[in-house]
Amino acid sequence: MLILTCRPVYLRGVSRLRIPATIAHPVRLLPIAFLALIGVGTISLLMPFAREGHDAPDFMAAFFTSASAVTVTGLATVDTGTYWSVPGQVIILVLVQIGGLGIVALATLLGLFVGGRLGIRTRLVAQADMHVVNIGEVKPLFRRVALTMVFFETVTAVVLTFRYRGSYFGDWGTSLWHGVFDAVMAFNNAGFSLNHDSLTAYAGDWLVLLPISAAVFFGAIGFPVLAELFQGWRTPSRWTVHTRLTVWGSIILTVLGALVFLFLEWHNDATLAGLPFWDRLVTGVEGSLMPRSGGLNSFDWGEARPETLDMGIVLMFIGGGSASTAGGIKITTFLLLFYVILAELRGDPEVTVGVRSIGPRVIRTAITIALLAVMLVTTTTFVVMLLTDFGFEESLFECASAFGTVGLSTGLTPDLPPAAQVVIIVLMFLGRVGTITAAGAFILRRRAPRYHLPEEQPIIG
């Protein structure tokens, strides 16, 4: 067992093996764990039995797929349903499940660890919410996260299996495998699909799209919010600021995104125009939810209007809730920046959300995360344009999808050269663990200053 302290860390029963505290720190363990899992996944997918047919798996295909699965993104350079065999598809499913479970549990554990450094009151709140006596009791935390995921995935898989068996597949085995695979991908917000055209075959089918969209929505809210809602969903006035921002922000973004999507695509023959009225509404909800990290699609995003692509880029950049399976800068970060702007325009001395004020350190962290995200997406977009012949908008869409661990694509991914694929892999990795690591590092490294420098006010604006 690893002991997270400032001293050298020893493994129980191994007296000579010492892990430096700089590595054992949870902020550093998080990216190391994901890198190790990507390596294991790549080796597993390189096994001959992982690919369909007699050809050996390609290294870049295995590496890219493993990174995309572990980071629960869903971008793919090869067709998942035909390139990989059933054992290979099982490996992808397991990597997605571990990646989704690991990011939630480790992120929540990191939050508890950080909370433990902030004072006794924060520790008591964490103990009450998560039923954890101290930071060393990880098993109850993992158990609750795992049970939550199993519940949502099981319900979704059962509904999808019966629908697939009744309308799309002729046997229960194929229906069950597709139902389980899609349910795991939906709740973990990963965009992999066994169909070459994702959910296009189910376009307008609300018995397929709505359960998948619901699983994506709850998976993107985040486990801490789900835990609080489970205990007090009837009393919104008692919700924490984090839960209020996440729940109401998610609902508002979903509704506004659906309205904008329907307005822009209503008469587009390549997306909505050929569907009946109610099918258009269902697709509109899906078109609003999936860019916020779901990654599955029942229409070709490459045929969408440029304005719709711009909306999708914004939603992918925002992402879902903190400590969830979603990516992006997170909705709480986005809304906190909105309140910062509102306070500045009003001339308020403090940033307030409801009846609570937000400390300057939290605001500084939110601004830093947002600016780092903008820098990453714009820089990698420029690099992808240099390495390929693709234009700005489609390159930006691809990079925003990778950073937001979304998995949507206008069709670029299979045509990317190896160098550009590596850029996307790095962006997926940073988008998955970078913001959490950065936020945790900022909090853990804070020290009370022993002196105050003279202030100066440069001209702003």
What are the DSSP calls for 67-83, one per residue? HHHHTT----SS-HHHH
Instruction: Indicate if the pLDDT at residue 228 is higher than 70.
Output: yes
Which neighbouring-strand residues pair with 10?
18
> Does residue 12 sit within a domain?
no
Q: How many domains does the chain have?
A: 1
> Does residue 9 sit within a domain?
no
Q: What is the pLDDT of residue 240?
A: 86
Q: How far apart are CA 450 and CA 227, in angstroms?
A: 39
> Does residue 3 sit within a domain?
no
Read off the pTM: 0.84
The CA–CA distances, whole Å, from 461 to 112, 344, 458 equal 39, 13, 10
Q: What is the pLDDT of residue 425?
A: 95
Nearest to 42 by CA among 78, 95, 79: 95
Place 225 in a pLDDT band, splitting at 50, 70 and 90.
Answer: confident
Q: Higher pLDDT residue, 48 or 238?
A: 48
Instruction: Indicate if the pLDDT at residue 105 is higher than 60.
Output: no
Express each pLDDT in 171-182 by its tens digit.
999 999 999 999
Instruction: Indicate if the pLDDT at residue 42 is higher than 90.
Output: yes
Instruction: Indicate if the pLDDT at residue 63 is higher than 60.
Output: yes
> Does residue 461 sit within a domain?
no
Instruction: Indicate if the pLDDT at residue 303 is higher than 50.
Output: yes
Q: Report percent pLDDT > 70 for the chain.
A: 81
Q: How far apart are CA 291 and CA 294, in angstroms?
A: 6
Place 347 in a pLDDT band, splitting at 50, 70 and 90.
Answer: confident
Instruction: Indicate if the pLDDT at residue 315 is higher than 70.
Output: yes
Instruction: Indicate if the pLDDT at residue 435 is higher than 70.
Output: no
Q: What is the pLDDT of residue 235?
A: 83
Q: CA 165, 170, 172 angle in degrees (round to 5)?
A: 55
Average pLDDT over residues 279-301: 90
> Does residue 415 sit within a domain?
yes
> Does residue 8 sit within a domain?
no
Q: What is the DSSP letter of 347?
A: T
Mean pLDDT of the chain: 83
Q: What is the pLDDT of residue 20?
A: 54
Structural domain boundaries enclosing 438: 20-444
Q: What is the pLDDT of residue 119?
A: 42
- Both tokens of 153, joined, read 């995935």
Express each pLDDT in 132-148 by its tens digit.
444 444 455 566 777 78
Q: What is the pLDDT of residue 127?
A: 41
Instruction: Indicate if the pLDDT at residue 113 is higher than 80.
Output: no
Element housing 409 (H / E): none
> Does residue 451 sit within a domain?
no
Average pLDDT over residues 386-393: 92
> Does residue 11 sit within a domain?
no
